[in-house]
Amino acid sequence: MTTIVRGRFLDIQQPVTSPQDIAQHVRYIEDGVLITEQGKISWFGTWQDAQAHLPTDAKIDHYPDQLIVSGFIDTHIHFPQTEMVGAYGEQLLSWLETYTFPTEMQFKDKHYADKIAQFFIQELLKNGTTTALVFCTVHPESVDALFENAEQKQMRLIAGKVMMDRHAPEDLCDTPETSYQQSKNLIEKWHNKGRALYAITPRFAPTSTPEQLQKAQQLKQEYPSVYLHTHLSENKDEIAWVKSLFPEHNSYLDVYHHYQLTGQRAVFAHCVHLEDHEWDCMHQTNSAIAFCPTSNLFLGSGLFPLNKAWQKQVKVGLGTDIGAGTSFSQLQTLNEAYKVQQLQGNKLSAFESLYHATLGGAKALDLDDKLGNFNIGKEADFVVLDLQPTALQQLRQSRTQSIEDALFALFTMGDDRNVQATYIYGEKVYEKEA
């Protein structure tokens, strides 16, 4: 149950409240050692200092040329949409009708859900993603399929059954009562089982009646330690629709807030077009945002104002939002995040990017006491990155003068080809074929 890994390690030592603070908390050990026991980090430091802690016959996984970082955290992704990445020509509302709902109907079949869940978990690992907050479908079978597959790898996954009782095909709708009962059963079955955690998951305000949102509220009150996961202010037509459906509320976020669905462990995907008082509500309730750049660009939703989130002190994690997002790779997601910042006249530094993909994501998910860096006692989820899997990256990396520049080139050019190995709970669960 002991794993010893030697190589170049890079992490961010503690959560920060401004991007300017990140650089001073970067920890880079050129020749380091990480020791894990029973899935947790029991020792971390330099190769030299490690000598006193290593048994003489220790088996060591040595990665002399790679870079080892904390496992990537995806704070918003839909596993049933894996097969529909790259669906042509629509923006959010027509994209849902045209592509998403028909795809999600297939998940009432447990065998089908199992097949896609297995593929999905493998794809996460192949991309160095070790924790994710995941949308399933309205079918409880889809949640079982996902958690059963994650359990086999001991993954820390947060997921939930979609609650949706209107404005969707009949076969994809539940009712306030069935959504309550099915969610409750799933919470009892999965929440805190091994590393699994449950998220109450109303799809978004337009597909839930007030009665259903009230049931979501009841669940949150009965199970205060579960998560709340939904979408918010992604697209302008969506926002106008919410205003027409809930005229008594003064904003989109106010609908969720009214039903007490904001708060610690509440994660809202997108938040591209929040109004100022909504930002204040996000801050005051300690709610978190999943920033999904590849999705926001692909669906033409808009540019997420990351600087505003720092300014308003609202927690942000990074989301791939597969299948509106176009890649499982957090490296590719950071590549697009950088461009979203550029289009707003801002810079996204390599260290800030690393923060969002690891410790910042952990903080958004209220898991920064367990995940996000190599601090002793944390759960040992990490990824071994090859910085030069292609001729072009080899050339570019040969010209780098600093770890920061090497990291920036990785985040700009990298993808699953850069993931050499992925470790979950101290165990190697993925290794790239030679």
Stretch of 213-221, 269-277, 281-289, 397-405 lying at the interface with Zn ion (CB under 5 A): 269-277
Nearest Cα to 97, choosing from 269, 303, 237, 296?
237
CA 330 and chain centroid, separation: 9
Task: Please tell me the distance from the alpha carbon of residue 332 to that of residue 91, in angstroms, as a whole number.
Answer: 21
Stretch of 92-100, 113-121, 138-146, 344-352 lying at the interface with ligand GUN (CB under 6 A): 92-100
Task: Please tell me the distance from the alpha carbon of residue 306 to that of residue 285, in angstroms, as a whole number.
Answer: 18
Q: Is 59 helix (H, G, I), strand (E, B) or coil?
A: coil
CB 196, min distance to ligand GUN, A: 22
User: Of the two residues 268 and 423, which places its CB atom closer to Zn ion in the complex?
Assistant: 268
Size of the site for ligand GUN (CB under 6 A): 11
Residue 321 in the binding site for Zn ion (CB under 5 A): yes
Residue 100 in the binding site for ligand GUN (CB under 6 A): yes
Residues facing 366 on adjacent strands: none
Among 8, 153, 161, 203, binds ligand GUN (CB under 6 A): 203
Size of the site for Zn ion (CB under 5 A): 2
Structure tokens at 172: 């994809």
For residues 274-303, which are near ligand GUN according to CB under 6 A? 295
Residue 204 in the binding site for ligand GUN (CB under 6 A): yes
Residue 356 in the binding site for ligand GUN (CB under 6 A): no
User: Of the two residues 133 and 406, which places its CB atom closer to Zn ion in the complex?
Assistant: 133
CB 76, min distance to ligand GUN, A: 8
Element (H, E) at 171: none
CB 321 within 8 A of CB 329: no
Nearest Cα to 270, choosing from 310, 311, 241, 239?
239
Which residues have CB under 8 Å from 198's CB, separation 6+? Answer: 158, 159, 160, 186, 187, 190, 191, 223, 226, 227
CB 330, min distance to ligand GUN, A: 17
Task: Please tell me the distance from the alpha carbon of residue 197 to that of residue 388, in angstroms, as a whole number.
Answer: 36
CB 75, min distance to ligand GUN, A: 13
CB 280 within 8 A of CB 304: no
Q: In what order do the strands lie in the sheet with 61-70?
A: 40-46, 26-37, 2-12, 61-70, 382-385, 419-424, 427-431
User: Of the two residues 306 and 324, which places its CB atom closer to Zn ion in the complex?
Assistant: 324
Task: Please tell me the distance from the alpha carbon of residue 338 to that of residue 209, in angstroms, as a whole number.
Answer: 37
Task: Please tell me the distance from the alpha carbon of residue 223 to that of residue 190, in angstroms, as a whole number.
Answer: 12
User: Of the two residues 92 and 255, which places its CB atom closer to ligand GUN in the complex?
Assistant: 92
CB 373, min distance to ligand GUN, A: 29
User: Of the two residues 134 and 324, which places its CB atom closer to ligand GUN in the complex?
Assistant: 324
Among 11, 165, 174, 234, binds ligand GUN (CB under 6 A): 234
Q: Which does 234 bind (CB under 5 to 8 A by kind): ligand GUN, Zn ion, none?
A: ligand GUN
Task: Please tell me the distance from the alpha carbon of residue 302 to that of residue 240, in angstroms, as a whole number.
Answer: 15
Among 78, 273, 315, 396, binds ligand GUN (CB under 6 A): 78
Among 324, 364, 385, 413, binds ligand GUN (CB under 6 A): 324
Q: Which does 203 bind (CB under 5 to 8 A by kind): ligand GUN, Zn ion, none?
A: ligand GUN
Residue 321 in the binding site for ligand GUN (CB under 6 A): yes
Question: In the complex, which residues of this chain contact Zn ion (CB under 5 A)?
Answer: 269, 321
Q: Which residues bind ligand GUN (CB under 6 A)?
A: 78, 92, 96, 100, 203-204, 231, 234, 295, 321, 324
